[in-house]
Structures are given as C-alpha cells and as structure tokens.
Structure 1
Amino acid sequence: MKKQLLFLFSVLICSLGMAQKKSELFAQIDDLEAQLGEVQQELAEAKRDISSSNAKAEALESENVGLRDANATLLKNLSSFSELSKKNSENVTKTLAALERKEKQLSGITDMIASGDSTSIVLLTRIKQTMGENANANVSEGAVILSGSLTKLFGSDTGTALTDEGKLWVSQIAKVLLASPNLSAKVDGLNITGEFAITYDQASAVAKELVGTLSVPLEKVDVAVKDGNFKEGVAVSLQPDYKAFYDKVKTDIKATN
C-alpha cells in the first residue's frame, strides 16, 4: 500500500512538474511570438524605407541622366555658338579688309581725278606763259581747247599750207606738249559747209607740223574732222592721257584685290 502511494505521489509530482514546464514553454512561445511580431514590423518598416530609398535613387538617377543630357546639349550649343561667332568674326574681318581695299581704290581714283583737274589748271597757266594772255584757250570736259581761224593758219578758207603766223601758233602748242609728257593732242578740223576733204587736209597740215617739224611724238597726236556747228577752223584739244589713267586705275584695283 505504501508503495502504491509513493508511486502515485511520484506521478503527481511529475505531472505538476510537467504542467509547470508546459506553462513556461507557452510563456516563452508567447514571448517569442511577440518578438517575432516586432521583428516583422521592423522588417516591414525597413522594406518601406528601402523601397522609398530605391525610388529616390531612381528619381535621382533619372534626374542625373536629364542633367547630363542637358549639359551635353548645352556644351554642344556653346560649341556651335563659338564656331558661329568665330565665323562671324572672320566674316567681319574679311568685310572690313574688303572695305579698306575699296577705300584705297576710291582714294586712288579720286587722287588721280584731282590730279587731272590740277593738270588742267597748270596747263592753262603754262599756255598763257607760252602763248600770252590773249591765247584763245577754253576748258571743256577736262581738256584745254586752243582754236585757230583758217585765215590765221592758212591765209584763206581753202588754204592747206601753214602761214608763218600759223607755224608760230603750232610751235607754241608743241612747246606745251613737249613740256607735258602726260598730255596728248587731238587736232579737229571744223567745217560748216560739208567739204570735209579740205578740212581734213588742213587738220593734217597742223598735225604734220607738230610731228614732222616740231618732233612731237606721233602717238600723242590724233587727227579728225567734224561739223563745226557754225564754227570753222582748227581746234587742238590738249588733254591728259586717259588710256594711261584707266590702265593705272585697273592696275591699282588688281593690286588691292
């Protein structure tokens, strides 16, 4: 009987011990579940933070890509602007150089024209010194024109041989021509009757005296006849060598281009 009681008591003690351990185990389980819940909550927050960080990182990356593209575009535009500015500067420089060349050309032409005008003034002075104050000289279109009547030069309207007075008049013109290498002479026979053959012979007689007797270069003397428009006689036009003038203008233009 005692043995039975001892066994029951032992079983009861074991049962109480097991019940206490089970209770402690449930308490530990509850505690672990609470800790697991906290961990899961923290994990969820961590995931949200990571997701938010990833979204921000993606946004920043996208913004960074946009900024890189914008910078690349800006650099390209700056390069294009710099190149355009350089070309514009070169064009302005070329234009200024061209304008400077044109100014030199115009200045040279103006100087030559002014020189021609000055030549006419000097020529008139030289004619008066050579032929006297009563020299029949007029200025027309840059040329100085000396007129001689047929009676003075040939003794009559139909004469073709120079008189002494006519030879003196032609010799004075020759002196002016020889003293002015840049001048040429055009001998015009003026006629009002239409009989140009005699008029041509009279103009030729003056030219022959200039070239053959007075040694004026042939290339400086030209002969022509024309209607005198109610005037007859011989007119000698002294004028600058315009061919040389234009040749010089062409040369200067080519030199400055």
Structure 2
Amino acid sequence: MRTKLPIILLFALFSGIALGQKKSELFAQIEELKSEKQELEQELASVKREVSSSKAKSETLKTENVSLREANATLLKNLTSFSELSKKSSENVNKTLAALQQKEKQLNGINEMIASNDSTAIVALTQVKKTLGENANANFSEGDIILSGSLNTLFGSDSSMELTDEGNEWLARVADIIKANPDRKTEVVGLNITGEFATTYDQAIAVTKRLTDSLGVTTEKLSTLVKDGNFKEGIAIKLRPNYEDFYGKVKESVKVAQ
C-alpha cells in the first residue's frame, strides 16, 4: 500500500500538470478564436459597408439612368420638333422667296410698262416740238405732255373771249398733235391767279369749242376745267395717258405673271 501511494500521487501530479496545460492551451485557443471572430466581424462590417455603398451607388446609377433616359427622350423629342420646325421654316422661306420672286416679276413688268409709257411720251414730245416749233412751250410731267399757251397769244389780253389769229393757228397745230395721239385723253385747263374763275372758264370753253367744232377733235376724250394756277395763268392743254387702259394692262400683266 505504501508502495502504491507514491505512484498514485505521482500520477495525480502529472495528471494535474497535463490538465493545466490543456486548460492553458484551451484558453489560448479561445483567445485566438475570439481574435479571429473579431477580425471576421470587422471584415463582415466592412463587407456590409461596401455592400451598402454598392447598393447606394446602384440606386444612384438607376436614378441617373432614369434621368438620362428621360433626358434622351426629351432631347429626341426636341430634335424631332426642331427638325419639323426647321422643315416648316425651310418650306416657309421657300414659299416667301417664291412669292418675292413673283412680286419682283410683277413689279418688273409694271416698271417696264411705265418706262415704255414714259419713253413713248418723250418720243411724242419730240414730235410735238417739231409741230409747234423749237420755241414751243411744251413739257413732260408725270406721264403728261403739257402744251401751254399764254392769254395774250390766244386772246390778246387776259379778259378777252375772242381767239386771235395767232391763237387759232396755235390751236390748229395742237389739234394735229391731239389727233396724232388717239391713245391719250386731252384736258383743257384754264389757269387763274386772281380768283376770277368765271372768265378763265369761258376762255377754256372757247378753246375747247374751237378744237371740237372747227378742228376735228372728238369730244370723247376731251374735258375742260379751271384751277388756281399758283402764280401762273393761261391755257394748259394736257395730253394724258389713258390710265384706265394702262391699269387694265397692268392688271393683265399681273395675272399673267402669277
């Protein structure tokens, strides 16, 4: 018994030492596991943060993607609208240019007719001066050929109603001019500076009657009037263009140009 006791004590001692070592190792392992757990928890938290950040970025990208799609759709719509507007504007510009060209063509036609009328009147005025003489008081104004005769030449005074021989001779040449220009209307205009229009009108009527009754001028295109001469007196005989016929030709020219 005494021999076995030391052995038992020695066994117990070794067992205690071995157990102590295992506990120490176990505690060390526990601490190591705790450390690993803490590291894993930190890594997990980091991963969670990254996942959360990725989700936030994903949501942001989704929102931006939606905004970009809407912006693209709006831009495409605006581009389509701009294209249509540009097309309409181009069509309107082309229509406007065509209309302007048409108007220019019409205006050119009218200007050509006016120029032709003026040119004809200038040629007629040259013939008038040849008929009345180089010292004839004949002018061209606004399309009218104007032949002027003084009261002294026609009547011998500003109050007489009887034509002088010189006046009758002058009117005979005027009658030839009127008959040579049948496309023009004739106005016998009495010009007065005193306000006594009755005398001036009687003188203008005397000239008109001489032209129609004795010199073969038709009454269809002849009219008589008096007006303030604005510091001029006498008888003015105007050969005026047939404006009705002229405007009729202009209208016809405009229709053809359309």
TM superposition shift of 1:181? 3.1
Name the structure 2 match of 1:184: 185
Report what 1:91 is aligned to: 92
Counterpart amino acid of residue 112 in structure 1: M
Any unmatched runs of 5+ in structure 2? 1-54, 56-62
Unaligned stretches of 5+ residues in structure 1: 1-54, 56-61
Over aligned residues, Cα RMSD in angstroms? 3.8
**Alignment partner of 1:136 is 2:137:** yes
Q: Check conservation: 2:122, 2:140, Cα contact below 8 A.
A: no
Structure 2 residue 200 is matched with structure 1 residue 199: yes
Within the alignment, does 1:107 sit opposite 2:108 as a pair?
yes
Distance 1:226 1:152 in 2: 20
In the TM superposition, what is the alpha-carbon distance from 1:127 to its structure 2 partner?
A: 0.5
Q: Which amino acid aligns with 1:197?
A: A
Is contact 2:211–2:217 with CA below 8 Å preserved after alignment?
Answer: yes
CA drift of 1:200 comes to 0.8
Q: How many Å apart are 1:105 and its aligned residue?
A: 2.5
Distance 2:150 2:71 in 1: 93
Note closer, same or farther for the CA distance 1:198–1:63 as it changes in structure 2 (3 Å cut): closer
Q: Residue in 2 aligned with 1:171?
A: 172
CA distance in 1, matches of 2:200, 2:236: 11
- Measure, in 1, the Cα distance between the counterparts of 2:192 and 2:203: 11
1:160 aligned partner = 161
Once the 2 structures are TM-superposed, how far is the Cα of residue 217 of structure 1 from its aligned partner? 3.8
The residue type equivalent to 2:86 in the other structure is: S
Tell me the distance in 2 between the aligned counterparts of 1:128 and 1:225: 25
Q: Which amino acid aligns with 1:181?
A: P
Name the amino acid aligned to 1:201.
Answer: D
- Whether the aligned pair in 1 keeps the contact of 2:145 and 2:240 (CA below 8 Å) is yes
Report the CA distance between 1:247 and its aligned residue. Answer: 4.5
Query: Pairwise mapping of residues 66-77 of structure 1 onto structure 2 (< 5 A)?
Result: 76-77=77-78
The code of the aligned residue for 1:202 comes to: Q
Say whether the 8 Å CA contact 2:146–2:236 is kept in structure 1.
yes
Report the CA distance between 1:125 and its aligned residue: 0.6
Q: Which residue of 1 aligns with 2:239?
A: 238
- Shift of residue 82, structure 1, vs aligned partner: 3.8
Alpha-carbon displacement from aligned partner over 1:107-152 (angstroms, at most 9, x marks no partner): 1232233223323321221112222222121334443322222333
The TM-score normalised by the length of structure 1 is 0.62
Q: Which amino acid aligns with 2:172?
A: S
Query: In 1, distance between residues paired with 2:191 and 2:64?
Result: 97
> What's 1:7 paired with?
none
In the TM superposition, what whole-angstrom CA distance separates every residue of 1:188-210 from its partner, at most 9, and x where no partner exists?
11234433222211111222233
CA positional deviation for 1:94: 0.7
- CA drift of 1:220 comes to 2.3
Sort the Cα spacing of 1:153 and 1:79 in 2 relative to 1 into closer, same or farther, 3 A.
same
Counting aligned pairs with the same residue, the percent is 63
Moved more, 202-211 or 74-83: 74-83
Deviations 1:66-117 (A, max 9, x none): 9987887676555434432331221111101111122113212322332233
SS of the residue corresponding to residue 218 of structure 1 reads coil
Tell me, in whole angstroms, the C-alpha distance in 1 between the residues paired with 2:101 and 2:182.
Answer: 33
More off after superposition, 139-148 vs 241-250: 241-250
